[in-house]
Structure 1
């Protein structure tokens, strides 16, 4: 699980400060404040760590399979930074194994991003460091060292997170520790799944080649093939994906159950059962097709992985939106899947508070953040929740003022009635 993120000079984030990541982390805020950039930083590290080019330092993205396209280093850099370096820090833990990572990127003579300094640690105290020196060479440093004689071009970091094979060999007995830290970090980044806010519209029929997809896709395009694969496997699976999705559709009161039906060789349809009526997915409300990828991904993502979601509540009615909080908490506990969610839903947010108040969740199991802008800079505000789900400092005017609207409506009604009586 990822436990901390920190950004510096990254797009709108001049200095994010330490962002503690929990089993369920909710990011709220107005549009264009910098929420998406937090998710983009993780996707940027994932596509760099999994790049086929092991010599790459930072994959800004321009290929079809990339998760994000950040443009150029200039596009990535904060406006008018004090120093022209982008910093990313990550902490992760799996079982009792900890990994602490810190990297700073600069530009080389060709204006391409290059690692200026990279550090790895098993305990946040003993740091192994590789840093750029003169003439494209890199020096490697053991914990506590400020000077080194170990310098070589072959010590250049690989895929943005790993010491090179030559650097590991030069570190001697410590090389194995550094190698294990890089592998652990890579596994965490590889385990990130992402679902964006723009999801595919449903089809009347689906062509399926009887293979299980590797990913759901950022637009949810592989959600139906994943359901088809699960239905084909039947009860041989430990987790019946179709049954799990059906259970939540029923709990959200938008369907009784979901069914996949074979029409002919390779052609299938998805049917929605509700109140004794069976309809094609194409013929029901758009909310069902938009939440399907969210539900599928929650049970499709491997255990001990991280799911990034943008606006999972799209096209859902308020009660269904609130139940997403229960989905995230239940899956995080039972399947050990971490959720980092960007949302505008007051209903999801408030249900999380209610779950804490009812002792169905602990405050330390979820983190709530509000992102706002101070001029051109993004600023993170931690929303501290006590054991009763109460917040000491609400986001000002973000959710509107329901009580104030009722008060104003009553006031205007009284004024109109008084005016109409006077006129008659």
Structure 2
């Protein structure tokens, strides 16, 4: 598990030092560097998968698009202004420090410093960022589709839900392919008192009922194409199945998140942008229960969010004992007005499981609106 992640001279990040936990939540206003943290991780991982890492890093990949080197340099960096450095500290004690030279002109790959340490592939694979136990789901996740894609190389061989831009485009095929396998962490059972079936399909459907009550999933395969339908159970009547295109957008949008978390074994790294997108606050709370349980049982999850319901869901998990306080890290991202660099502010959690001394801008809009409405 990654305990510490440091970024020097990458986009808005002059020097950012994150102490990560089982569940790490990145929040803050737009354009403050949250997505850049995840982009930097994807950049390292895809460069590794292409076999050129750590000698070079590629600035263009399938899951991210950074562009050219001139778009990465932080022009406000004073110390080592021409270097990109990223350091990873793990709980296993196997640590990495990567350093690259920004060249003159616009290029799409950076070369490692001659003096930098070179790590073997075997060493790198000890880090969850470079292992096979990894999932990334972006804010570009696919909504309802008429037909769902298949890719045996991505799903069957690499067990990935996505290839292009973290869209989760293979979630339906993934669920069809591995739906009969048991989830690796039995403690994620939606209702252990009533549900004995630990298969991925049953558990995905069960957790989906917390998003949309009484919903059922049906996946049809016709040749190499897969079709997703939803149904709602009514006692005494036949089930009526409805195409995904004719159901709520959020139901399909959250499906890949459920599958990614439920299928992740202990030691996995899961990156999710905006898990709250298109789902009701009560559904966000239920989703955060699942995410918190997975984090407590050894899956490292990093979330980017703009939802106070996601934050509160994690705090409720602390209160109810689903998650230990030491297993949660919450960061509020702001911009230093002098340097214009990102500031990742770690938020303290009090004994009452509430955020202590929250900075200005941390989900205080409702308070300000109520003060206006009530004339305070």
Partner SS for 1:184: coil
Shift of 1:81: 2.5
Partner SS for 2:322: coil
Measured at CA, do residues 288 and 77 of structure 1 come closer, stay the same or move farther in structure 2, by a change above 3 Å? same
Measured at CA, do residues 85 and 270 of structure 1 come closer, stay the same or move farther in structure 2, by a change above 3 Å? same
Instruction: From the two aligned structures, give the one with the greater helix fraction.
Output: 1
Q: Which has the higher contact order (CA 8 A, sep 6+)?
A: 2
**Structure-1 residue corresponding to 2:4:** 4
**Structure-1 residue corresponding to 2:217:** 259
**Structure-1 residue corresponding to 2:345:** 381
**Structure-2 residue corresponding to 1:286:** 249
Partner SS for 1:271: strand
Aligned runs of 1:294-305 on 2, under 5 Å?
Answer: 294-305=257-268
**Structure-2 residue corresponding to 1:417:** none
**Structure-2 residue corresponding to 1:223:** 171
Measured at CA, do residues 4 and 401 of structure 1 come closer, stay the same or move farther in structure 2, by a change above 3 Å? same
Measured at CA, do residues 101 and 55 of structure 1 come closer, stay the same or move farther in structure 2, by a change above 3 Å? closer
**Structure-2 residue corresponding to 1:77:** 73
- Where structure 2 has 5 or more consecutive residues not aligned to the other structure, the ranges are 185-197, 235-239
Q: How many residues align?
A: 346
Partner SS for 2:333: strand
- Where structure 1 has 5 or more consecutive residues not aligned to the other structure, the ranges are 118-130, 133-139, 141-156, 164-178, 413-424
Aligned runs of 1:266-415 on 2, under 5 Å?
Answer: 266-276=224-234, 278-334=241-297, 336-375=298-337, 376-411=340-375
Aligned runs of 1:87-106 on 2, under 5 Å?
Answer: 87-93=85-91, 97-106=92-101
1:210, 1:70 → 2: CA distance?
27
Shift of 1:228: 1.2
Shift of 1:274: 2.6
Preserved CA contact (<8 Å) 2:48 2:130:
no
**Given the alignment of the two structures, is residue 244 of structure 1 paired with residue 203 of structure 2, yes or no?**
yes
Measured at CA, do residues 72 and 204 of structure 1 come closer, stay the same or move farther in structure 2, by a change above 3 Å? closer
Preserved CA contact (<8 Å) 2:296 2:324:
no
Shift of 1:56: 4.1
Cα RMSD, aligned residues only: 2.8
2:69, 2:14 → 1: CA distance?
15
**Structure-1 residue corresponding to 2:194:** none
Measured at CA, do residues 223 and 406 of structure 1 come closer, stay the same or move farther in structure 2, by a change above 3 Å? same
**Structure-2 residue corresponding to 1:197:** 139
Partner SS for 1:408: helix
Give deviations 1:309-336, integer Å, cap 9, x for gaps. 11011111111112222111112234x2
Measured at CA, do residues 351 and 55 of structure 1 come closer, stay the same or move farther in structure 2, by a change above 3 Å? closer
Shift of 1:188: 4.1
Preserved CA contact (<8 Å) 1:25 1:341:
yes
Partner SS for 1:58: strand
2:349, 2:182 → 1: CA distance?
42
2:247, 2:96 → 1: CA distance?
47
TM-score normalised over the length of structure 2? 0.82
Pick one of 115, 122, 127 that aligns with 2:112.
115
Shift of 1:360: 2.9
1:308, 1:27 → 2: CA distance?
11
Give deviations 1:114-137, integer Å, cap 9, x for gaps. 2226xxxxxxxxxxxxx16xxxxx
Partner SS for 1:308: strand
Aligned runs of 1:172-211 on 2, under 5 Å?
Answer: 181-185=123-127, 188-206=130-148
Partner SS for 2:5: strand
Shift of 1:51: 1.4
Preserved CA contact (<8 Å) 2:330 2:347:
yes
Shift of 1:361: 2.0
Preserved CA contact (<8 Å) 1:7 1:89:
yes
Partner SS for 2:126: helix
Preserved CA contact (<8 Å) 2:41 2:129:
no
Shift of 1:205: 4.3
Preserved CA contact (<8 Å) 1:50 1:190:
no
Partner SS for 2:302: strand
